[in-house]
Amino acid sequence: MKNSDVAAVILIASLSVLVAYFVADAVIGKPTSASVKVKTVAPISAEVQTPDQSIFNRDAINPTVEVLIGNGQTP
């Protein structure tokens, strides 16, 4: 390669990098320094409350127990 070819390659590469930089800057944009409000979480306490008796009663159906309908045989 001649010196003029090397110079042309370097010029084209540097122009490509500049164009890519400005295109990426236009598409992506610059980060903003806007503040963000974040919800805070209430601290966890060691106090245990009794569950609601209308939901957790001892006569409720237990879904973990297998229930057989009829004579208990599967078809």
Q: What is the pLDDT of residue 36?
A: 83
pLDDT under 70 in the chain at which residues?
72-75
Number of domains in the chain: 1
Does residue 54 belong to any structural domain of this protein?
yes
Q: What is the pLDDT of residue 23?
A: 92
Does residue 37 belong to any structural domain of this protein?
yes
pTM above 0.85, yes or no: no
Q: What is the pLDDT of residue 32?
A: 76
Q: What is the pLDDT of residue 17?
A: 96
Does residue 45 belong to any structural domain of this protein?
yes
Does residue 35 belong to any structural domain of this protein?
yes
Does residue 74 belong to any structural domain of this protein?
no
Q: What is the pLDDT of residue 14?
A: 96
Q: What is the pLDDT of residue 59?
A: 76
Distance of CA 31 to the CA centre of its chain: 20
Does residue 21 belong to any structural domain of this protein?
yes
Does residue 53 belong to any structural domain of this protein?
yes
Structural domain harbouring 54: 1-69
DSSP label at 59?
T
What whole-number distance in Å separates Cα of residue 6 and Cα of residue 14? 12
